Structure 1
Amino acid sequence: MTKENHSATNLKNLARIILGLFMILAGLGHLSFQREEFQAQVPNWIPMNQDLVVLLSGIVEILLGVTMIFWRKQRIKVGIALAIFYILVFPGNIAQYTEHRNAFRLDTDTKRLARLFFQPVLIIWALWSSGGLKRQTAPERKN
């Protein structure tokens, strides 16, 4: 491995660990100190109790965060799973914007709209830091 490749790998690993820690912290917030604020992101059309949705998504976030950090053998699959999770929760961010819900200091439509543009950043971060953006090619078979 060249020095440049080693530096890139170290940067990806650091980014993956930071994202994992972010997910663990967010999950803990779901279960405790930010529980009510996360409820503001649950769309009204979800046919479940908002608090239950927040608790369940918090558990999923903690699990995804822990696996991003520690399950290195499956890091690409975990990164893809985390990217899918970010896609699945995006309607909650949209609901917070369209329903004008204040939470996380997002108390204007401008702030809530700006936040929507960070979701693609999280998706790319999850895929890039886990190696999920690499083009996966199978070796050619010889007949």
Structure 2
Amino acid sequence: MSQGAERARTALRWLLAAAYLIAGIAHLRSPQAFLAITPDWVPFPQEMILLTGICEIAGALALLTAKLRWIAGMMLAAYAVCVYPANIKHAIDSVEIGGKTLGLWYHIPRLAFQPVIIWWALFAGRVIDWPFRQRAYPERV
């Protein structure tokens, strides 16, 4: 990969780590907001919110640690898949958080952006290089 692509990966890594760190702290400080969007079928919802906050903080720190970066990218991508049902519930049920109900202007982009977050974790964790990797073409004879 080019130096520019590596700089982009580094910047994206730090930005994603900051976002997960902030989200993790929010899970621990304000669990009620996250409990409101937790689907009913999730067992032990309060404990799950605490655990997800810890996982976000651990993932953020691991993403910034060279030896743990790859596994952090994999686990944060898996995490983004696992919390998607909460985002769906938030949108479908128009869950009020902090006295506010967010409209489709928030929910549609948020739901559509989830695959980008998954890619972002994989890219930041050096699991994938796409779309920056140079494609090798076979020689034609």
Q: TM-score range by the shorter chain?
A: 0.7 to 0.9
Q: Is the 8 A contact 1:80 1:126 kept in 2?
A: yes
What TM-score, normalized to structure 2?
Answer: 0.80
* Equivalent residue runs for 1:70-89 within 5 Å: 71-89=65-83
CA contact (8 A) 1:102 1:108 kept: no
Unaligned runs of 5+ in 2: 131-141
Per-residue deviation, 1:67? 0.4
Alpha-carbon separation, structure 2, partners of 1:47 and 1:14: 36
8 Å CA contact 1:40–1:101 kept in 2: the answer is: yes
Q: Given that residues 80 and 132 in structure 1 are in contact (C-alpha distance below 8 angstroms), is that contact kept between their aligned partners in structure 2?
A: yes
Show the counterpart of 1:101.
Answer: 95
Cα drift, residue 13 of structure 1: 1.2
Output the amino acid matched with 2:117: L
Query: Of 55, 58, 61, which aligns to 2:56?
Result: 61
Equivalence for 1:112: 107
How big is the shift at 1:51?
2.3
Q: Which residue identity does 2:58 align to in structure 1?
A: L
- Find the partner of 1:129 among 115, 124, 129: 124
Q: Which residue of 2 aligns with 1:139?
A: none
Distance apart, 1:115 and its partner CA: 1.6
CA distance in 1, matches of 2:8, 2:35: 34
**TM-score using structure 1 length:** 0.79
**Cα shift readout 1:49-97 (whole Å, capped 9, x = no counterpart):** x32221111011100011011x212322221111011001111111112
Q: 1:132 to 1:106 in 2, by over 3 A?
A: farther
Query: In the alignment, which residue of structure 2 is the partner of 1:6?
Result: 3
Runs of 4+ in 1 over 4 A off after TM superposition: none
Aligned match of 1:36: 32
The total of aligned residue pairs comes to: 129
1:80-136: CA deviations, max 9, x gaps?
A: 11101100111111111222212375522453233211211111111112221238x
- In the alignment, the residues of structure 1 paired with residue 61 and residue 78 of structure 2 have an alpha-carbon distance, to the nearest angstrom, of 16
> Given that residues 40 and 103 in structure 1 are in contact (C-alpha distance below 8 angstroms), is that contact kept between their aligned partners in structure 2?
yes
Letter in 2 for 1:39: L
Taking the aligned partners of 1:114 and 1:18, their CA distance within structure 2 comes to: 19
- Partners of 2:55 and 2:91 lie apart in 1 by 23
